[in-house]
């Protein structure tokens, strides 16, 4: 019998989630002038005010947002944690607190798959406000909580795990301060029991911003320092060893007010600080990015903004050794105040920036990089949502330009890259696959 050969050409489709315009057949590399488009967005809240102060990746690929709610819970405002999936769809939420105003400012993952949070509590504790540490499981159920402070106002603002499995809380204290307020550093075991605490400051006001764990297992404490005599605030940096003993301190700033809201370890072993400056830049306040070496020496600084008030509240390192900052701008955008994302290279030089928002006030307090696809942001909005202010989640992807100028945005969730398969069938019914 004569051999029979048949040739089949098979195309296996790409599985795509498409946002925006119809896809064309050709693609081109990203242009320098990058633009993000919103792939998913959600608001969370009720009739009153809800704020988000932090967002982190969850272990399942979703996100955890933390802040406070006045619409739900037991008191005037309660600490609020919202868990969403990768698209921002609500999965669960939990409130924590009593009859008064209680807030969480910072959240971190814990080795058991749960989370730990710090903030302030008025509903119980020792004084008017206390620093507050809460441990929850991976479904948002409280496992334990502890308060720290004296008879006056004490605040927990930044939290990290320590190498021994315990926690370090950085805030400020009025109860134990030499002046109006002092930096307040609390070391606990893994159940929140105090091992030691330290204060740092003079006769003025020192208020906490954020904490960075350093390579020598010590701590970099960054916040504000000022006195009534000068009526201005500078960034104050204190470096300690692992027991909280001060090694050195530095101030950064000019003749006006300068603030630090967030910071991270830099790619080269130094530190990156962001916030805003009234001393430098183009407007009444500008977003500010400062690089210092591991000994606190100034290396460079950059400002971003226009004629109005602009600041950044959070920063993350990016896969290309640059940085992404997020916050709010009154100089640019659609409304009185918009969410603002800024991308820089390793030297802090602007690569692109973008605003998100409506006619009212919107701001970002958390940002996460989603590989090379784009970013997720979380913050607050009064432009959208159910109440006076709601938590606002955005997942944004890069808009890509084709060779003929047609644009689209895609997220590839699965690719089966068998483009053309030739199948030759022989008389013995054997198959040889050729690419």
Residue 26 has pLDDT above 50, yes or no: no
Q: Which residues contact 104 (CB under 8 A, 6 or more apart)?
A: 53, 54, 66, 67, 68, 79, 80, 81, 96, 117, 118, 119, 132, 134
Contact between 224 and 206 (Cβ < 8 Å): yes
Domain presence at residue 86: yes
Average of pLDDT values for 351-371?
97
* Tens-digit pLDDT profile for residues 101-155: 999 999 999 999 999 999 999 999 999 999 999 999 999 999 999 999 999 999 9
The DSSP secondary-structure symbol of 285 reads: B
Residue 264 has pLDDT above 90, yes or no: yes
Would you give the distance in Å from CA 158 to the centre of its chain? 12
| Burial readout 278-292 (b: 16 or more C-beta within 10 A, e: otherwise) | bbbbebbbbbbbbbb
Tokens of 359: 């006619």
Domain CATH number, residue 324? 2.130.10.10
Query: Please, which pLDDT band fits residue 231 given cuts at 50, 70 and 90?
Result: confident
Residue 262: which of 175, 409, 364 has the closest Cα? 364
Count: domains in the chain: 1
Q: Domain range holding 245? A: 34-418
Write down the pLDDT at residue 432: 28
Residue 188 has pLDDT above 60, yes or no: yes
Residue 292: which of 311, 265, 318, 315 has the closest Cα? 265
Using CA of residue 404, residue 408, residue 412, residue 418, what is the dihedral sign? negative
Write down the pLDDT at residue 335: 85
Assign 3-state DSSP to the chain and report helix, strand, coil percentages, each to 5.
0, 60, 40
Tokens of 335: 């409304």
Contact between 232 and 257 (Cβ < 8 Å): yes
Query: Please, which pLDDT band fits residue 387 given cuts at 50, 70 and 90?
Result: confident
Contact between 38 and 411 (Cβ < 8 Å): no
Write down the pLDDT at residue 228: 61
Query: Please, which pLDDT band fits residue 54 given cuts at 50, 70 and 90?
Result: very high
Q: How far apart are CA 255 and CA 230, in angstroms?
A: 9
Query: Please, which pLDDT band fits residue 401 given cuts at 50, 70 and 90?
Result: low
Write down the pLDDT at residue 106: 98
* Tens-digit pLDDT profile for residues 58-87: 999 999 999 999 999 999 999 999 999 999
CB atoms closer than 10 angstroms to residue 108: 17
Residue 311 has pLDDT above 50, yes or no: yes
Q: How far apart are CA 68 and CA 66, in angstroms?
A: 7
Query: Please, which pLDDT band fits residue 229 given cuts at 50, 70 and 90?
Result: low
Please state which of the ranges 29-38, 132-141, 188-197, 265-274 shows the lowest mean pLDDT: 29-38
Write down the pLDDT at residue 259: 96
Tokens of 387: 């109440």
Give me the percent of the chain exceeding a pLDDT of 70: 84
Q: What does the mean pLDDT of the chain come to?
A: 87
Domain presence at residue 27: no
Domain presence at residue 423: no
Contact between 306 and 295 (Cβ < 8 Å): no
Strands 219-227 and 232-240: what pairing? antiparallel
Please state which of the ranges 10-19, 170-179, 210-219, 345-354 shows the lowest mean pLDDT: 10-19
Q: Report how far apart the first and last C-alpha atoms of the chain are (Å, whole number).
A: 29
Average of pLDDT values for 182-202?
98
Average of pLDDT values for 308-313?
97
Tokens of 406: 């047609």
- For residue 154, the SS3 value is strand
Give me the percent of the chain exceeding a pLDDT of 90: 80
Domain presence at residue 345: yes
Cβ neighbourhood burial of 158 (10 Å; 0-12, 13-18, 19+): buried
């Amino acid at each position: 019998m004569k051999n029979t050969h048949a040739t089949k050409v098979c195309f296996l489709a790409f599985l795509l989630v498409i946002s925006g315009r119809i896809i064309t057949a050709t693609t081109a590399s990203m242009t320098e002038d990058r633009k993000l488009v919103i792939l998913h967005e959600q608001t969370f809240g009720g009739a009153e005010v809800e704020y988000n102060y932090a967002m982190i990746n969850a272990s399942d690929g979703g996100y955890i947002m933390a802040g406070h709610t006045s619409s739900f819970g037991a008191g005037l405002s309660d600490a609020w944690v919202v868990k969403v999936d990768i698209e921002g769809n609500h999965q669960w939420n939990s409130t924590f607190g009593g009859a008064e105003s209680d807030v969480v400012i910072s959240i971190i993952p814990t080795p058991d798959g749960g989370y730990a949070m710090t903030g302030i509590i008025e509903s119980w504790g020792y004084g008017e406000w206390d620093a507050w540490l809460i441990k929850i499981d991976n479904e948002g159920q409280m496992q334990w909580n502890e308060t720290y402070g004296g008879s006056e106002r004490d605040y927990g603002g930044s939290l990290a795990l320590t190498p021994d499995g315990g926690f370090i809380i950085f805030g400020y204290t009025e109860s134990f301060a030499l002046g109006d307020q002092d930096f307040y550093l609390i070391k606990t075991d893994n159940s929140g029991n105090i091992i030691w605490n330290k204060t740092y400051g003079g006769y003025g006001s020192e208020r906490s911003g954020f904490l960075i764990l350093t390579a020598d297992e010590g701590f970099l404490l960054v916040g504000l320092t000022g006195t009534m005599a000068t009526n201005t605030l500078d960034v104050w940096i204190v470096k300690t060893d692992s027991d909280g003993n001060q090694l050195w301190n530095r101030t950064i700033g000019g003749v006006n007010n300068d603030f630090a809201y967030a910071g991270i370890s830099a790619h080269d072993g130094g530190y990156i600080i962001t916030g805003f400056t009234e001393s430098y830049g183009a407007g009444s306040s500008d977003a500010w990015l400062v690089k210092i070496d591991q000994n606190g020496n100034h290396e460079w600084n950059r400002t971003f903004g226009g004629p109005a008030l602009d600041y950044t509240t959070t920063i993350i390192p990016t896969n290309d050794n640059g940085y992404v900052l997020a916050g709010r701008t009154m100089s640019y955008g659609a409304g009185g105040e918009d969410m603002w994302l800024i991308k820089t290279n390793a030297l802090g030089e602007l690569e692109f920036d973008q605003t998100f928002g409506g006619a009212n006030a919107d701001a970002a307090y958390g940002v996460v990089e989603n590989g090379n696809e784009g970013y997720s942001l979380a913050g607050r909005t009064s432009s959208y949502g159910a109440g006076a202010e709601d938590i606002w989640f955005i997942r944004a992807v890069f808009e890509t330009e084709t060779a003929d100028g047609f644009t689209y945005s895609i997220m590839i969730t699965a690719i089966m890259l068998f483009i053309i398969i030739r199948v030759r069938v022989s008389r013995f019914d054997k198959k040889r696959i050729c690419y």
